[in-house]
Amino acid sequence: MAAIELIRVTKTWGATVAVRDISFEVDEGSFVVLLGPSGCGKSTTLRMIAGLDDVTSGRVLIGGREMTGAPPAERRVSMVFQSYALFPHLDTGENILFGLKARRVAKTEQRDRLVRVAEMVGLEALLDRKPAQLSGGQRQRVALARAIIAENPICLMDEPLSNLDAKLRHEMRVEIRALQQRLGMTTVYVTHDQTEAMSMADRVVLMRDGGIEQQGPPAALYDVPETVFAAGFIGTPPMNLLKVEEVGGAMVIAGTDGPAVAEAGYGNLVLGIRPEQIAIADNSGIEGRVESCDYLGADTIVGVRVGSQSVLIRAHGRHSRPAGSRIHLHWQESEVHLFNDETGVRMAGVRPLPVAA
């Protein structure tokens, strides 16, 4: 049985459609990430699960029970807000205990749970500090502690790491994931950061313009993107998406005169190839001119102009080639993704052609 189930949920604000007819399930104990650019409806979806926003149509089931119109307090969900939503006049301990006090849990139990949770998130020494006296990371922990002390089976997180610096974000990412697995909490996590989604999720629900673009395990989204949007959203740098045109009966990358990269007869295509799957050769393959070389330490991102388009290549180690120098690219045809140029949908039936090295 799914811990959370959304069935054909739509949310409109007047004439604007925030969420359009989406359905997905969240398995018990799993970590699901709602991923998408800002304004795609992912936060609204989370708020509808929490009951903070009403659904316009469709149903929300939690733990198999109909919860479509139920008030937030009845849904047994905790939530971590992007702004943390800590009560500024209450100290850490009081903030964490707020919900237990509201629900009149016995004093001794409050104390036991507070000790346990504070230890879990490493706040034992900071229980009498006010939020203003805490660092961003510590506030984040308070918000987390407040979410887990309720011992609700479900935890919702709305961009919880977006106010932290890069290093802390990485630490908290690991920590939240570890905590979630240890407690077996069903977690729905909203983010626009695909790195967070890839590294934390059991399942990713990729959203765009209020609809679901693709959902599945992170590896599935990475390996088999169903649309041009999914291909371009995931990965750093994202997949190269190159227009392919028919020139003299051969499908070539727009602006080049060969070699052919896919079989003809399916109209114009978009060819997707991940930067790490492109190899550089000196004199055979697809010709291009170097535009830039960004050295990152472990690898170098080489920008190449191919025909009328830019291609990024992730090359191992250090490469430095002068801008304007001529190079050739090639790849395994098994790594190529082909999409319909108009609809952006993956075209599984079209065969890519080998680009010889």
Partner 1 sequence: MTERTRLVGNAVYGWLLLLPAAVLLAAFTHYPAVATLAQSLFTSGTALRPAEFAGLDNYRFMLEDEVFWRVLENNVWYAIGTIPASIALAMLMAVWVNRRLPLRAFVRMSYFTPTILPMIAVANIWLFFYTPEIGLIDQIAAGFGIGSRNWLGNPDTVLGCIIVLTIWKEAGFFMIFYLAALQSLPPELEEAARLEGASRWHFFRRVTFPLLMPTTLFVLINAVINSFKLVDQLFILTKGGPDNASALLLYYIYEVAFSFFDQAYASTLTVVLLAALAIIAIGQFVILDKRIHYR
Angle between helices 136-149 and 166-183 (to 10 degrees): 10
- Residue 50 engages partner 1 in binding (rule: CB under 8 A): yes
- For residue 281 the two structure tokens come to 């050769």
Q: Which is nearer to partner 1, 80 or 164 (CB)?
A: 80
- Residue 103 engages partner 1 in binding (rule: CB under 8 A): yes
Q: Which stretch binds partner 1 (CB under 8 A): 97-105, 189-197, 267-275, 297-305?
A: 97-105
Q: Binder to partner 1 among 77, 273, 286, 355 (CB under 8 A)?
A: 77
Q: Which is nearer to partner 1, 51 or 225 (CB)?
A: 51
Q: Binder to partner 1 among 22, 79, 290, 312 (CB under 8 A)?
A: 79
- The closest alpha carbon to 334, from 312, 314, 311, 351, belongs to 351
- The closest alpha carbon to 299, from 313, 315, 282, 312, belongs to 315
Q: Which is nearer to partner 1, 18 or 329 (CB)?
A: 18
Strand 154-158 relative to strand 77-80: parallel, antiparallel, unpaired?
A: parallel
Q: How far is the CB of 55 from partner 1 (least distance, A)?
A: 17
- Residue 344 engages partner 1 in binding (rule: CB under 8 A): no
Q: Which is nearer to partner 1, 160 or 225 (CB)?
A: 160
b/e per residue 288-323 (b: at least 16 CB within 10 A): bebeebeeeeebbbbbbbbbebebbbbbeeebebee
Q: Which stretch binds partner 1 (CB under 8 A): 95-103, 192-200, 241-249, 265-273?
A: 95-103
- Residue 125 engages partner 1 in binding (rule: CB under 8 A): no
**Residue 206 zone, left/alpha/beta (φ > 0; ψ -120 to 50; rest):** beta
- Residue 89 engages partner 1 in binding (rule: CB under 8 A): yes
Q: Which is nearer to partner 1, 125 or 132 (CB)?
A: 132
Q: How far is the CB of 353 from partner 1 (least distance, A)?
A: 54
Return d(Cα 355, Cα 259) in angstroms, integer.
Answer: 7
**Residue 136 zone, left/alpha/beta (φ > 0; ψ -120 to 50; rest):** alpha
Contact 252, 282 (CB under 8 A): no
Query: How many Cβ atoms from other residues are within 10 Å of residue 202's Cβ?
Result: 17
- Residue 150 engages partner 1 in binding (rule: CB under 8 A): yes
- Residue 306 engages partner 1 in binding (rule: CB under 8 A): no
Name the residues that contact partner 1, by CB under 8 A: 50-52, 71-73, 77-79, 81, 83, 85, 87-90, 98-99, 101-103, 130, 132, 146, 150
